[in-house]
Structure 1
Amino acid sequence: MRTRYRCAACGNLTRFDVTVTRRTRAFHHYSIGGELNVEDTEVLSEVVEEVACRWCGSGAHVEALEDADAG
C-alpha cells in the first residue's frame, strides 16, 4: 500500500519531496566476474521523516490521505 499526500496550503496532489529511512535485508549475488546482482530485497523497517510540497515548499500543511481518499 502506498501513501498519497495532499498539500492543504496549495492543493497539490502530485508532487512531493519525501525523505524516507529504510532498513533492508538483501541477497547479494556476485558473478564470477565480480558483477553484483541484488536479489530478494526485504524492507525490515521504513520511517517517513519528512514530506514537503514541491509546488509551494510547505511541509507543515502536507497531509496523508486516508485509504478511501487515495483511490
Structure 2
Amino acid sequence: MPVPVPDAGTRWRCTLCGNLTRFDVTRASRVVDFVHLDLAGDPRVEESEVLSETVESVRCRWCNAVDQVELVARPGGDAPQDGA
C-alpha cells in the first residue's frame, strides 16, 4: 500500500518514537533517461523524466519501525489542523 507523501504544509512523523527527521524511504519509479555515450562507450545520463513514482515503505531510522509514519502539519505550514 503506498505511503502518503509530505507536501509543503505537512511532514512525516513516526507514531512510535516521534522522529521527524530521519527515515529510510523505499520508492518504485518509472523513469525515462537520455543516455549519452562518449566515444569510449562510457555512459552519462543527461536528462531524466520521472513518469511515475510511488513511496512503498518508510522506516524510522531512530526506532526501526516500518510503515509507522503519519502526516502532521509543519510548523507555520498551511495544512489544516484536526477539528478545524
SS across alignment from 2:17: coil
- Higher normalized helix content (fraction of residues): 1
Distance 1:16 1:27 in 2: 30
**Other-structure match for 1:16:** 23
SS across alignment from 2:65: coil
1:47-66 to 2 correspondences below 5 Å: 47-66=54-73
Of 2, 18, 32, which residue of structure 1 is paired with 2:39?
A: 32
Give the superposition deviation at 1:60: 4.1
AA aligned opposite 2:53 = E
SS across alignment from 1:44: strand
RMSD of aligned residue pairs (Cα, Å): 1.9
Give the superposition deviation at 1:57: 1.5
Structure 1 unaligned regions, length at least 5: none
Bigger shift: 13-22 or 56-65? 56-65
Distance 1:15 1:33 in 2: 41
Question: Percent identity, aligned pairs only?
Answer: 50
Structure 2 unaligned regions, length at least 5: 78-84
Residues matched between the structures, number? 68
